[in-house]
Amino acid sequence: MKTLLLLLLGLISCSCGGYHLGGAKPPSLAAVKTISVPMFKNGTLHPRAESLATSAVTDAIVQDGTYRIAAGSNADAVLEGKISTIEYSTLRSSRLDSLLAEELTNRVSIDWVLRDAKDPTKILGSGSNQGFSSFFVDSNLQTARQNALPDAFERAAQSLVSKLSSGY
């Protein structure tokens, strides 16, 4: 009975031998603990898109918890971003008029570069992430587009932070 209990205890303790607490950061980002996120650049004609994208990425980093947000002087890395495209397309049109859109989708694309804060010429990571959102067309199309944009930026930001924190 004692031998069986010791064998069972040994198996239980060995089953999680390879597990360790903490995230599974990419090897190139192992030393990075804090990230500074300056205001993104806007490569589109959409007003205030840079503030929406920067806020979405900052919120996604905080929610993920792998890295902390820090000021530029105290950070280990700096995340620079640029909104490259914001595109709209018809998802569903009216049954009676195929040119009259009832539901639209928007796609945003964020290009980013993660640089070492001490040596800005050293690039730790880079990429491009996209986010999608769909919305119904109402009487004020501009307001509908503006209200759907934060959701698309949140999806792109979650994809970006997933790339930073886990490598994919």
The answer to whether residue 16 is domain-embedded is no
Any domain includes 137 = yes
Please check whether residue 161 is in contact with residue 131, taking contact to mean a CB–CB distance below 8 angstroms.
no
pLDDT of amino acid 11: 63
The tokens of 38 are what?
């300056």
pTM (2 decimals)? 0.82
Mean pLDDT confidence for 80-108: 90
Specify if 67 maps to a domain. Answer: yes
* Domain that residue 38 falls in: 26-166
- Asked whether 126 and 79 are in contact (CB, 8 A), the reply is no
* The total number of structural domains that make up the chain: 1
**120-156 tens-digit pLDDT:** 999 999 999 999 999 998 888 889 999 999 999 999 9
Has residue 104 been placed in a domain? yes
Give a yes or no: residue 1 inside a domain: no
Each residue of 30-44: pLDDT tens digit? Answer: 889 999 999 999 999
Q: What is the CATH number of the domain that holds 46?
A: 3.30.160.150
**Can you state the angle between helices 141-166 and 49-64, rounded to 10 degrees?**
40
Q: Is residue 6 one of the residues assigned to a domain?
A: no
Q: Is residue 8 part of a domain?
A: no
Per-residue pLDDT for 76 more than 80? yes
Is position 19 within any domain? no
pLDDT of residue 151: 96
- The mean pLDDT of 80-98, rounded to a whole number, is 90
By the 8 A CB rule, do 115 and 124 touch?
yes
